[in-house]
A and B are shown apart, each in its own frame.
Chain A
Amino acid sequence: MTSSPAIRVRGVVKRYGATEVLTGIDLDAPRGEVTCLLGPSGSGKSTLLRCIAFLEETSDGLIEIDGEPLGYGPGSNGGRVRLPPASIRAVRSNIGMCFQQFNLWPHMTALGNVSEALVTVRKFSRGEAEARAMAELEKVGLAKRATHYPSELSGGQQQRVAIARALALEPKIMLFDEPTSSLDPELTGEVLNVMRRLAETGMTMVVVTHEIGFAASVGSKIVFLDHGKILVEGSPTQVFGKPRHARIDQFLDTYLDRGAAGLL
């Protein structure tokens, strides 16, 4: 099934009560590439990512991870059927997730955060888990901070630990939900560098971000959402290059100062 995209989203709808947050999304995230989800607040980009992480249940539509249906499979009469928990768990284990708020567990050290799931979920011995965790912390440049608690780390360091925590489980796909939105520019840089290096290793990534520069330079596919649907998608040049969609123009004006916009 190597020809299938890493993530295939078809007709995904998400409703909260009467409000339709996603209104029928079709999306392919190519294997080994970085797909960036952009759009204004409330456009549904984070919701879409959370649906792919199965943190939110879709109201309709299908999502496939690596060719395997996530949560729901096609039903006999055109509808969809809920898949058993074991299937959901197996498919989700291919996915790593990073959050805007890092969400490290405050009662565990950096090493504890990264090794925890290896012990609890993957049943590694404590020693094996910590060796793997150390190697992951090394990759994000935080081996020296292994014994620190999250409260003793900067936001950027916390996010890098969170990335290491996800990578320790060897996911095929990494999802990032506004990973730098709660960081100042300097700390943003260190996190984006880690993500850039991860992209160079050929990791399939889907990134919800407001970092247009990162999206334009690292992203191979830009998806622009507005009001719960995909407005424009394509390569950075197709989406950001001129002539461009009027809504993108307006968005770039809002999110970038004029000088930076000129660089695109």
Chain B
Amino acid sequence: MSFDLGLLRTYGVEILVAFGVTFLIWIAASALGMIGGFAVAVARRWGPAWVAWPLRAFVEVIRGTPFLVQIFLLYYGGPFIGLSLDAVPAGLLGLTIYGSAYYSELFRTGFDAIPKGHLEAADCVGFSRVQMIRRIIVPEMTMLVLPAMVNMTILMLKETAILSIISVPELTLEVSSIGSAHYAFVESFTILALAYWALVELCGWAGRLAESRLSRYRFAHS
């Protein structure tokens, strides 16, 4: 048995399509997860108690169970509560929910890390709560949590592989089934590893770019 990447030639298009599916689900779920997570963090921080408590429970449940179990329950259990989704929407929804719980915790710690005085200064010049969030809290929090956000977004990419169990035609499902069909496990998983790694590098590069653009804002001293 020799190491033969001929699979790439034969299944190049299929692999590229699957790569595209993974990429799109990853980007969409990460973006939606950040938006959802931000909403959860804001509601928990400034919302009334009857909103904050259920959201806290939501975050605890999502963080306390494996993503594999969550996606299984959503896809196969969903129909019992009238939620019948195809594999791709179910996968996207599941990953978004998962991401929003983690991102919300990240943003929450970011809120806590903003020096209280910066908000008092905004309060003193007459900012409303919404203006304060938009103009002060979001930009300051972003620069505080950016490295952790890059990290979480990389984890989101790797979690897309789990979607193969509900038959989302993403990279892991497609490449591993090609590998099984040809008994070319090492080759197929090498291709998989390289493909994910390329995306992780892309994410890391984007993160570094953003960090360098924000670095001149570094906190003076407090």
Contact = CB atoms under 8 A, between A and B. Distances in A.
Nearest to B124: A97
Given A99-B117, A120-B131, A158-B220, A107 B126 contact: no
Nearest to B117: A103
Contacts of B217: 106-107, 149, 151
Contacts of B140: 105-107
* Category for how many chain B residues contact A: 20 to 34
Interface string A93-107: 101110101111111
Nearest to A55: B120
A155 B222 CA distance: 10
Contact of A106 (B125, B127, B131, B219): B219
A150 interface: yes
Contacts of A153: 220
A123 to B, nearest CB: 11
A103 B122 CA distance: 9
Contact of A107 (B121, B131, B139): B139
B110 to A, nearest CB: 13
A105 B131 CA distance: 14
Contact of B120 (A92, A103, A155, A165): A103
Nearest to B217: A107
Nearest to B218: A151
Contacts of A165: 121, 125
Given A92-B126, A105-B122, A107-B214, 7 more contacts: A55-B120, A97-B120, A101-B115, A105-B118, A120-B131, A121-B126, A169-B125
Interface of A: 53, 55, 89, 92-93, 95-97, 99, 101-107, 116-117, 120-122, 149-153, 155, 158, 162, 165-166, 169
11 contacts: A99-B117, A105-B136, A106-B118, A106-B218, A106-B219, A107-B143, A122-B126, A149-B217, A151-B217, A151-B219, A169-B125
Interface of B: 115, 117-118, 120-127, 131, 135-136, 139-140, 143, 214, 216-222
The 9 closest A-B pairs by CB, nearest first: A117-B125, A103-B117, A103-B121, A121-B126, A97-B124, A151-B220, A107-B139, A107-B217, A150-B220
